[in-house]
Amino acid sequence: MAVPATLWQPGMRITDARMNAKDYQAGIILVSFTSQTSHTQAVVFPEPFPVAPIMNAEIVSGAGVTGRFEARPINVSATGFTLFVLLTDGAEGADTWSNHPVHWTARMPTT
């Protein structure tokens, strides 16, 4: 399990868990679908977080049909999320994607 990164405090013991602590993860999802106006895809974090992280997702291309879509994470949990890609222009019809990259980031919430 991922251990959240900790600001160093006097008197803290150095442990493997603290030295390897992560409070941030990121990845790329290749999205493909045929003739749809929205699409969902489950994503599992490489390392689970202790709690549901704060997230962001972005389509990293503006070419062709991708310019009319947006992406966002939904159903975020400590172990993963669902990527939701949707058409933002209701006047347009369904489109097809083939391996379009969507980047995501997740980080531990600050208290």
pLDDT tens string 21-40: 668 899 999 999 999 999 99
Q: Please give the Cα distance from 11 to 37 (Å, whole number).
A: 55
pTM of the predicted protein model = 0.79
pLDDT of residue 16: 73
Phi, psi of 78 (to 5 degrees): -70, -20
Q: Please give the Cα distance from 95 to 16 (Å, whole number).
A: 48
| Confidence category of residue 111, pLDDT binned at 50, 70, 90 | low
Tokens of 96: 């097809």
Are 57 and 83 within 8 A, CB to CB?
yes
Task: Identify whether 6 is part of a domain.
Answer: no
Average pLDDT over residues 8-21: 68
Are 85 and 39 within 8 A, CB to CB?
yes
pLDDT of residue 46: 92
Task: Identify whether 86 is part of a domain.
Answer: yes
Task: Identify whether 14 is part of a domain.
Answer: no
pLDDT tens string 60-103: 988 777 888 999 999 999 999 999 999 987 767 889 999 999 99
Domain residues for the domain of 87 are 23-107
Q: Report the relative pairing of strands 69-74 and 80-87 from DSSP bridges.
A: antiparallel
Task: Identify whether 3 is part of a domain.
Answer: no
Q: Tokens 């993860």 — which residue?
A: 25
- Where are the strands (E) in the chain, listed by range? 24-36, 38-44, 54-59, 69-74, 80-87, 95-107
pLDDT of residue 23: 84
Task: Identify whether 27 is part of a domain.
Answer: yes
SS3 106: strand
Number of structural domains (the chain) is 1
Count helices and strands in the chain by DSSP H and E runs: 1, 6
pLDDT of residue 1: 41
pLDDT of residue 8: 58
Q: What is the CATH number of the domain that holds 36?
A: 2.60.40.2080
